[in-house]
Amino acid sequence: MFRIFSDLGQVVTTLVPPWALPFVAGGFLLLLLLPWLESVRGKQIKGAIRRMVRAPESEHSALARRALDLAGTRRGRLIGLVQEAIRYGQHSLVKEGLARLEADPVGRSHAAKLRERIEKPAIRFRDPIEASVRIEGLLGEGLVVAAREQLDVALAHFPTDPELEALSRRVP
């Protein structure tokens, strides 16, 4: 085992002069330090958002400002901020983070992917029977507004279905 380290040391000293070894080691440590600092900053941002969720309403704006200040304009930090804000339902923070991401030309594609995560998916029906069953279920639960929204979509897809027309007379 010791021989491996000895051989490795000999190879390094033949490739790099002994006076340059401290500079090479320092550069290597610097390369390791930068990603570590970014991960620490990301954890600070996520921590500020989690504290914001538990904090009283009066402290929300200060914690949101802290998270945004920590993120700055760095793309990776902003993506982490928006993902964490989506997870905890902090809509104003999501909006601000996405606005900052869209200001960066490369960040626009990331912002579009994050917007897909938060946007309401389109209602799709395979056939009018599925639509009728879904709408009947919503009416049975007393969700009249949701039933009306789904009925409008279903009628747009299947305008001549008699069952959907009968439902449209029942749903206010």
- In the structure encoding, which two tokens stand for residue 79, read together? 């993506």
CATH code for residues 21-118: 1.25.40
Q: Is the pLDDT confidence value at 121 over 80?
A: no
Every domain of the chain and the residues it spans: 21-118, 128-170
Q: Is the pLDDT confidence value at 12 over 80?
A: no
Q: Is the pLDDT confidence value at 18 over 70?
A: yes
Cβ contacts of residue 164 below 8 Å, gap of 6+? 128, 131, 132, 135, 151, 154, 155, 158
Q: Find the helix or strand (DSSP H, E) in which 161 lies.
A: none
Task: Look up residue 90 and give its DSSP letter.
Answer: -
Q: Is the pLDDT confidence value at 13 over 90?
A: no
Closest CA to 72 of 90, 45, 43, 53: 45
- Stretch 123-136: mean pLDDT: 90
For the segment 72-112, what is each residue's pLDDT rounded down to a tens digit?
Answer: 999 999 999 999 999 998 999 999 999 999 998 888 999 99
pLDDT in the model for residue 45: 95
State the pTM of this model.
0.63
Calculate what percentage of the chain has a pLDDT beyond 90.
53
